[in-house]
Structure 1
């Protein structure tokens, strides 16, 4: 699986740990930065990761900031992205199984590398259940996205 990943200054250390872990699992990773603790703006890193997912250049994306909140908000503004903010293993499984999330957001200041690796392993390894009720709900989410997306 090809995974795009990005972080701001509040999440770059955890991002680096996740990149190493994903490669150990055999995944291809495209790292969009950042690689320092100097203040940067999280949307500047969320956008290229999400663009890679929407454009089919990556199968899924992972975003990390201090809490994961800013990244998830920015990501979910992009049509076609279903970003889930996750800090536990049950939610990692549920958001893939039920919501077909294509981007995962986490917070470095909220969880440590051990838990992050477990979350990533579950999230990457869980397929969408494709159940009729879940597809119907995702179609409703897509309809909302279409309704509220400005078309030039």
Structure 2
């Protein structure tokens, strides 16, 4: 079996996502597939601010991936995707998590504390850590098409 690289993960949440974010952070800190977990949350941070900050870290390369949690996961995904080069996806089931990474190369997983139980969120993150995008696969040209549009090419 091919060994997967160890990742640096940034996590963040506004106040309405802290409980689930803390569950996920605890899981990540105990996982051998993760070398570092950086929590950029603060008591007064807004979902746009935490989402943009996490996305910037991923795009700049100081983090490999990010997990963001708000009430539904939608607000964090919308805000994170405003950072050029960031691909964030809201996912609350195994099929969507798999597709987000393998098909669309999403580096940022967004979830909603009001939508998913912690046990299910932990299962999704566990799968998410093993997933990779194959740029030579069927969806590779489509991801490149998005990147070209984004860059103005």
Alignment TM-score > 0.5, same fold: yes
Distance in 1, matches of 2:110 and 2:137, equals 26
2:144 to 122, 132, 139: 139
User: How much has 1:123 moved relative to structure 2?
Assistant: 1.1
Question: Scaled by the length of structure 2, what TM-score is found?
Answer: 0.89
Query: Is 1:83 aligned to residue 88 of structure 2?
Result: yes
Match of 1:109, SS? Answer: coil
- What is the CA-CA distance between 1:133 and the residue it aligns to? 2.7
Match of 1:61 in 2: 66
Quote how far apart the aligned CAs of 1:131 are. Answer: 3.1
Q: Cα deviation per residue 1:15-59 (whole Å; 9 max; x = unaligned)?
A: 00000001111321000013x4x6x42111112111110110001
1:29 equivalent in structure 2? 37
Which structure 2 residue ranges, 5 or more long, are not aligned? 1-6
RMSD across aligned positions (CA): 1.5
Q: Distance in 2 between matches of 1:88 and 1:77?
A: 24
Please give the TM-score of this superposition, normalised by the length of structure 1.
Answer: 0.90
Q: Unaligned stretches of 5+ in structure 1?
A: none
Whole-angstrom CA distance in 2 between matches of 1:90 and 1:96 = 10
| Cα shift at 1:14 | 0.4
- Is the CA contact 2:10–2:38 (under 8 Å) kept in the aligned structure 1? yes
